[in-house]
Amino acid sequence: MKNYNVSDIKNSLSTAKTALIAVPQLTIDSVAAGLALALTLKKANIDTKVFCPTKPDANYSKLSGLDLIINAYNQNDLVITLDYPLTQIEKVNYNQDNGKLNLIVQTKEGSPKVAENQISIVSQSIAADINFILGEETALGAAANMVNSGSWIQISPNNNIKPWAKAAIVDQDAPFSEMFTFLLPMLGLNLDIDSAKNLLIGLRVATQSFSVNVSPETFEAGAACLKATQPAEVVSPMNNPSISNTSIPTA
């Protein structure tokens, strides 16, 4: 079993409410690993997005969490977020008032008023609370300068730790999907069915169905993912002696 130094990453995660995962190069392995991380972070109540400059095509359709991927990043964008149920919003509109822009959110009749503490305004130039990058930032193209702000965790198969990385995990002997199979539990994140399925797909593609570039840990990772994709066993009276041997009172 692999053992990575994750203490700095766990400290950053302990206070994070938002996360961004940058996947510079579009491969099944890297996207599967990025989405697996994103899904587990979401289940840990961390609002997470995956940025990939190239949009995944139909070859990626079996992966879970594709709706979390964005392929546009503009540091000048302004994001206004309402912590308010979408089902209670009638429409969103805007108008101009003496050269000033007003955004108007109309709620449905009978819905509660939007409170000030439900409104957050974020400039996209401000990175998330914690940011991960799977590979080299140079492959991000025009968005490569995103690593210049915020707290970044570098995950890489190359021993080329960047000066902007607050923490780094380097494993030259494993694809991303193998790395994240061991990394997620170390971070206290649950390897559930969807994340494990993604990682298993990534492992199969990266190793050509476990035939090339494999190690004992690769098969261990595959076994862990396969086990996590199995639904919980349903216990019935037929296979539970403590139930089947219990006498049932008669009327």
Give the separation between CA 34 and CA 20, rounded to whole angstroms.
10
Per-residue pLDDT band at 240 (split at 50, 70, 90)? low
Per-residue pLDDT of 146-167, as tens digits, reads 998 889 999 999 888 999 999 9
Give the separation between CA 98 and CA 38, rounded to whole angstroms.
43
Which residues make Cβ contacts (< 8 Å) with residue 201, sequence separation at least 6? 28, 32, 62, 63, 177
Name the class of domain 7-70+126-228: alpha beta
**Overall size of the chain counted in residues:** 251
Higher local confidence (pLDDT), 81 or 172 = 172
Higher local confidence (pLDDT), 36 or 114 = 36
- Largest Cα span, the chain: 83
Higher local confidence (pLDDT), 78 or 91 = 91
**Do residues 42 and 219 touch, judged by C-beta distance below 8 A?**
no
Tokens matching residue 62: 């079996």
Minimum mean pLDDT among 21-25, 66-70, 80-84, 176-180: which range? 80-84
**In the chain, which residues fall in CATH 3.90.1640.10?**
7-70+126-228
**Do residues 202 and 176 touch, judged by C-beta distance below 8 A?**
yes
Give the separation between CA 178 and CA 10, rounded to whole angstroms.
19
Give the separation between CA 110 and CA 235, rounded to whole angstroms.
46
What's residue 169's pLDDT?
97
Per-residue pLDDT of 162-207, as tens digits, reads 999 999 999 999 999 999 999 999 999 999 999 999 999 999 999 9
Give the separation between CA 134 and CA 168, rounded to whole angstroms.
10
Per-residue pLDDT band at 223 (split at 50, 70, 90)? very high
- pLDDT over 90, % of the chain: 69
Tokens matching residue 201: 């797909």
What pTM was computed for the model?
0.76
**Do residues 161 and 168 touch, judged by C-beta distance below 8 A?**
yes
- pLDDT over 70, % of the chain: 87
Strands 130-134 and 89-97: unpaired
Give the separation between CA 15 and CA 182, rounded to whole angstroms.
22
Tell me: pLDDT of 102 over 50: yes
Going by the DSSP 8-state scheme, the letter that residue 172 receives in this structure is T
Give the separation between CA 62 and CA 226, rounded to whole angstroms.
16
Give the separation between CA 104 and CA 102, rounded to whole angstroms.
6
Strand, coil or helix: 121 = strand
**Do residues 49 and 23 touch, judged by C-beta distance below 8 A?**
no
Give the separation between CA 31 and CA 63, rounded to whole angstroms.
9
Per-residue pLDDT band at 244 (split at 50, 70, 90)? very low
Tell me: pLDDT of 251 over 70: no
Strands 165-170 and 152-156: parallel
What's residue 1's pLDDT?
82
Per-residue pLDDT band at 125 (split at 50, 70, 90)? low
